[in-house]
Structure 1
């Protein structure tokens, strides 16, 4: 019996080898975002409630003598007074729809998209995609994501990666016209712009900074998943 089991061992090992498949590819993508620069406008419903609340409180506020109010209104007046004029919310980049500029959509989040060759694309023609890199010899997925963004920007001193774990992932099934490509996983990492309004984006044919709504137009097939993953 021992001889029989021993003789079967090589056959079992060879059978297991027969079921081994090509290792699944992993791609890290970076969702590089610029946070809002100005406070978003208040929703009309919220504004109406705040106005109603203010008027309601005014009915029960303490009333002061006119002499006290007149004295308080004269305080602080002097030669150092000046009229404050806030900067416009609509910039030149908004008026010209300059999507290469970070100085647009100041009350929204902007995301970086690249136009060039991407892993898993149906053809060799350039497509719109996030900064990405195939995971091979990097120490961690986070390091791979940092390398992907570094390859595009050349410097990460004005970037901040949010956490060590990916914010989401998806399994990409290659299309029928793509040969010699097996399904692969794409992991998304979030990084944010810190203290700058301009980057020297390279290693791509083109790039844009877009809002979430504009971003979904570039990925119609993945729009449903990206809409749930990106909180904006």
Structure 2
């Protein structure tokens, strides 16, 4: 063997060793996988089979806050501090400068009244002071709307006009397998429909077509896995439901629940009220959908 061939053979040795080590590593992985697959095959057949789960679309319909929430004690103190700081350090506004110039001009006119032409002496002029008096009068006659509505006083949870400073979410009370529970409007998957269309159809079928809303995205905002009980598993031949939740904004209209769809009741609830309707785990999931 020539010296060139010898050097080439020696340089190929590390590559061959690496290749052999990689092959041995893959072989061990295949043996381990074949052993573990025998143990997990039963679980995969019972749980991970697509036919064993029901795919469901749900709509999280949210009415956004209409008014700002009341300030906390710390926020109120900071607001007063900033107002005082702005008053002490700010410059004169255009209105204040014009008012000051007008006062100086009127004072000069009173001193030199004889120099003012006769046709301009008795002309009524609306001064800045007159404007301020008119604005102050309009402000005194203005009464702001009450933050507490009639729905708040009557604790009407079916009204979308309650809790104007907080977001509300629509919940429906339905009967499933002889038991009633609260949840979002939902519907099982319909062939040849997207999951967003299924979620929107769940709302219109359950609450009527009078509602105006805007769905945010074609992708779900979250999902939830609901496991059925033994009776429900035997009845539906399904281990549970995989719910894909889409978020939508309420734009107007009223809810007309369809009793033929087994809708017993409905309610517009706040974040703090969710837990008493849907439980702790589901309320934690729903609270992640809102930023207020």
Q: Measure how far apart 1:62 and its partner are.
A: 3.7
Task: For 1:60-99, list aligned pairs within 5 A.
Answer: 60-62=89-91, 68=100, 72-75=128-131, 77=133, 82=138, 83-99=141-157
Q: In 2, distance between residues paired with 1:130 and 1:215?
A: 11
* Higher Cα Rg, which structure: 2
Give the total of aligned pairs.
209
Output one character per residue of 1:47-93: Cα deviation in whole Å (capped at 9) or x when no partner: 2112111212222234679x7397533226559x6422111110111
The answer for the alignment partner of 1:42 in structure 2 is 71
Q: Alpha carbons of 1:178 and 1:58: their partners in 2 closer, same or farther (altered >3 Å)?
A: same
CA contact (8 A) 1:28 1:187 kept: yes
Q: Is residue 200 from structure 1 mapped to residue 260 from structure 2 by the alignment?
A: no
The answer for the alignment partner of 1:173 in structure 2 is 227
* Structure with greater helix percent: 2
Q: Measure how far apart 1:34 and its partner are.
A: 1.2
Q: Measure how far apart 1:156 and its partner are.
A: 5.7
Q: Measure how far apart 1:39 and its partner are.
A: 2.2
Q: Measure how far apart 1:117 and its partner are.
A: 2.3
* Aligned with 2:182 (options 124, 128, 131): 128
The answer for the alignment partner of 1:219 in structure 2 is 278
Q: Alpha carbons of 1:62 and 1:129: their partners in 2 closer, same or farther (altered >3 Å)?
A: closer
Q: In 1, distance between residues paired with 2:233 and 2:89?
A: 75
CA contact (8 A) 2:208 2:255 kept: no
SS at match of 2:205: helix
SS at match of 1:165: coil
Q: Report the TM-score, using the length of structure 1 for normalisation.
A: 0.78
* Aligned with 1:137 (options 173, 191, 207): 191
Q: Report the TM-score, using the length of structure 2 for normalisation.
A: 0.63
Q: In 1, distance between residues paired with 2:180 and 2:211?
A: 28
Output one character per residue of 1:3-53: Cα deviation in whole Å (capped at 9) or x when no partner: xxxxxxxxxxxxxxxx59452321111111111122222333222112111
Please, which runs of 5 or more residues in structure 2 have no aligned partner?
Answer: 1-44, 104-126
Q: Measure how far apart 1:116 and its partner are.
A: 1.2
SS at match of 1:39: coil
Q: Measure how far apart 1:95 and its partner are.
A: 0.8
Extract structure 1 runs of 4+ deviating beyond 4 A. Answer: 76-79
CA contact (8 A) 1:165 1:189 kept: yes
Which range moved further: 41-50 or 123-132?
41-50
Please, which runs of 5 or more residues in structure 1 have no aligned partner?
Answer: 1-18
Task: For 1:183-198, list aligned pairs within 5 A.
Answer: 183-196=240-253, 198=254
After superposition, the CA RMSD in angstroms is 2.9
